[in-house]
Amino acid sequence: MVKKISAAQVQKLAQEDIMTRVARGDWYQYVHEPKLQAIVQQSAQTIAHINDVAKTDITAANQLLQEFLPHLGAGVTISCPVVSIEHPNRLRIGAGSFINARLQVISGGQVTIGKRCFIGPNCQLYTPNHPTDDWQLRAQGWEYDSPITIGDDCWFGGSVIVLPGVTIGRHVVVGAGAVVTHDLPDNVIAAGNPARVIRAVRPAEQPTPEG
């Protein structure tokens, strides 16, 4: 559900600190926020450099990714090229996860990927929302972010899209090309556009080792 903004809120919001508003999921105008634009532009430049380095030196590229992303668990692998990670401080990836090539994370909101996840190529995670009921506010660039959370031990096929505000449980398999518009519970297989639960999967009899 996209939350609404009234014209009366606009003036009040414009006076508040932009990073505070983004962090709490409140409305802002990206087109009028140079601080946000600078973060996104710097991130794009850094990723372009990392992708160039990866063409000849994967080890060096991996080290640069570790420096670029401060919230990576132990043993995380991210394959290059990476398309976009707009806000590196807002992305957390749990230990042992593997992220295949061409990841795209469009997010001022928090994005959390759990431990031991397999994320297929071309996956896209989006946290921004825009007004649906007021085209004038939409044209003015108003938006807000809703966090995305992906539980431990999930597997995404290629080209999965996750929309703002979605929480995906543990041990979830999402089929290739799915568009996840709503929360998914633990221990299911889901696919389609919009993604729907196809069936449940039996939880592992033994807990997965931590790591």
* Residue numbers annotated as active site: 130
> How many CA atoms, within 13 angstroms, populate the side-chain half-sphere of residue 24?
8
Beta bridge partners of 93: 72, 113
Q: Which one-letter DSSP state was computed for residue 80? A: S
What is the Cα 158 distance to its own chain's centre? 15
Other CB atoms within a 10 A radius of the CB of residue 70 amount to 10
List Cβ neighbours of 146 (8 Å cut-off, separation of 6 or more).
25, 109, 127, 129, 164, 165
| One-letter amino acid for residue 13 of the chain | L
CB 28 within 8 A of CB 144: yes
CA distances from 88 to 24, 69, 172 (A): 17, 5, 25
CA distances from 56 to 51, 59, 102 (A): 10, 9, 17
